[in-house]
Amino acid sequence: MKEVSVPALVPPATEGNLTDLLINRAHFEPERVMLSRPVGEGWQPVSARTLEAEVRAVAKGLIAAGIKSGDRVGLLSRTRYEWTIMDFAIWFAGGVVVPVYETSSAEQIEWILQDSGAVAIVVETPAHAALVETVRTKELQHIWVITDDALAQLSNSGTGISDDQVTQRRNSLRPETLATLIYTSGTTGKPKGVQLTHANFLSECGNVVEGASDLFLRPGGSTLLFLPLAHVFGRMIEIGAIRAGLHLAHCSDPVGRLLGDLASFKPNFVLSVPRIFEKIYNSAEAKADAAGKGKIFRKAAAVAIAYSEGLQSGHISPGLRIQHALFDKLVYSKIRHVMGGNVDAAISGGAPLGERLGHFFRGAGVRVLEGYGLTETTAGATLNLTSSVKIGSVGRP
């Protein structure tokens, strides 16, 4: 067995907490666009100043509702703008976030609420609220519903809470303070709550942002998040985006809206799982077959794979370069267009992508950087970097 180690790009945090990431961004770059929220078929930009103010207002509402430092607050929703607001608002109030998949059964919700000792939960819809009510624990004091204007209600109810009270809550958080309890299913028994601290995320996100700086720190960079934020993979990207000042948007309906959101938001890179890449490839092939161009597509795919393999070996023949340039106009550009037109990279995890698909997408102009991680490692433990990609591997630590 080969052992590989690399030095940390960012040293472990000895002070501060996750709320500092947003505070610092709002202080030093108040007008920087941090998020975009969906409005109709378009997007409304949200500056660092506006984001921090919204988070602070919701945090005041949580404090006014009786949320104390260290209290567990559940968050059950699809991936959406309000999740990021609530994540940081709960931390601003000194609380601990307990994410819950919006597809969870009543039994799963009951166990997570009971085991975590959650005193409140924010859910996406009235249907979710009704489900929680059927398994409501005696500790659960509040159920807030996002689609019933929960954030506005919290903001309005917190007007009597001062900024100093929020600052006191924020400053009570240390690197070793618990930030989130993420319940992950093991091989046996009920889901186990993985305890992740502010230091865990500060270290993980700091090293990912610096290691993949060409993605996170590029001028004008952006990403569209559509994987579940109840999963540590999505949370790492969310927090990393705030740390990096990366423009972030959310897609709450990957089945119905993903292609439309990619087309309108036009991210530079995405976070995904292999089945999404498989779906894009299979859809493109099926569309080509239906148009009587299946043979052309398969030839283009073979050229893309050969071109990527040539990049890895260090040798690409002149003839292959010519074929690749031709198919880039005929085929690859259309695949990139499906992904929004600006995507040139993606981070993939959750399962092996397979060398063939990895080579195909790199040959088509989209570098897929595979990684490996666990909830217990705060997402990524290893990751391929643009400077040292080895397709078929999950990279280095």
For the chain, give the longest Cα–Cα distance.
71
CATH (domain of 245): 3.40.50.12780
The answer on pLDDT for 231 being more than 80 is yes
- End of a domain among 199, 230, 261? 261
- End of a domain among 261, 281, 310? 261
The answer on pLDDT for 3 being more than 80 is no
**pLDDT tens per residue, range 121-171:** 999 999 999 999 999 999 999 999 999 999 999 999 999 999 999 999 999
The mean per-residue pLDDT over the stretch 353-379 comes to 96
Residue 391 lies in a domain: no
The answer on pLDDT for 4 being more than 80 is no
**pLDDT tens per residue, range 85-132:** 999 999 999 999 999 999 999 999 999 999 999 999 999 999 999 999
176: left (phi over 0), alpha (psi -120 to 50) or beta: alpha
Q: What is the DSSP letter of 11?
A: P
Q: What is the DSSP letter of 356?
A: H
Per-residue confidence band for 326, with pLDDT thresholds at 50, 70 and 90: very high
The answer on pLDDT for 185 being more than 80 is no
Average pLDDT, the chain: 96
Examine the domain organization and report whether 45 and 187 are in the same domain: yes
Examine the domain organization and report whether 37 and 182 are in the same domain: yes
Examine the domain organization and report whether 197 and 176 are in the same domain: yes
**pLDDT tens per residue, range 282-320:** 999 999 999 999 999 999 999 999 999 999 999 999 999
Boundaries of domain holding 341:
273-383
Q: For residue 277, give the H/E element and its range.
A: helix 274-290
Examine the domain organization and report whether 255 and 286 are in the same domain: no
pLDDT for position 223: 98
Q: Could you give the percent of the chain with pLDDT greater than 70?
A: 99
The answer on pLDDT for 212 being more than 70 is yes
Structure tokens given for 296: 């052309």
**pLDDT tens per residue, range 339-351:** 999 999 999 998 9
Examine the domain organization and report whether 50 and 88 are in the same domain: yes
Examine the domain organization and report whether 37 and 170 are in the same domain: yes
Residue 102 lies in a domain: yes
The answer on pLDDT for 215 being more than 80 is yes
Spatial neighbors of 201 by CB under 8 A, at least 6 apart, are 18, 179, 235, 236, 239, 378
- End of a domain among 217, 232, 261? 261
Per-residue confidence band for 1, with pLDDT thresholds at 50, 70 and 90: low
Strand extents, DSSP E, 1-141:
33-39, 42-47, 72-76, 96-100, 120-123
pTM for this entry: 0.95
Residue 7 lies in a domain: no
pLDDT for position 5: 81
The C-alpha atoms of residue 120 and residue 106 are separated, in whole angstroms, by: 16
The mean per-residue pLDDT over the stretch 175-197 comes to 90
Asked which of 120-124, 249-253, 391-395 is least confident by mean pLDDT, the reply is: 391-395
In order, the DSSP letters of 131-194 are HHHHT--TT--EEEEGGGTHHHHHHHHTTTS-HHHHHHHHHT--TTSEEEEEEE--SSSSPEEE
The mean per-residue pLDDT over the stretch 6-12 comes to 90
Residue 9 lies in a domain: no
The answer on pLDDT for 329 being more than 70 is yes
Q: Could you give the percent of the chain with pLDDT greater than 90?
A: 92
Examine the domain organization and report whether 78 and 168 are in the same domain: yes
The answer on pLDDT for 188 being more than 90 is no
Spatial neighbors of 383 by CB under 8 A, at least 6 apart, are 208, 211, 212, 347, 369, 370, 371, 372, 394, 395, 396
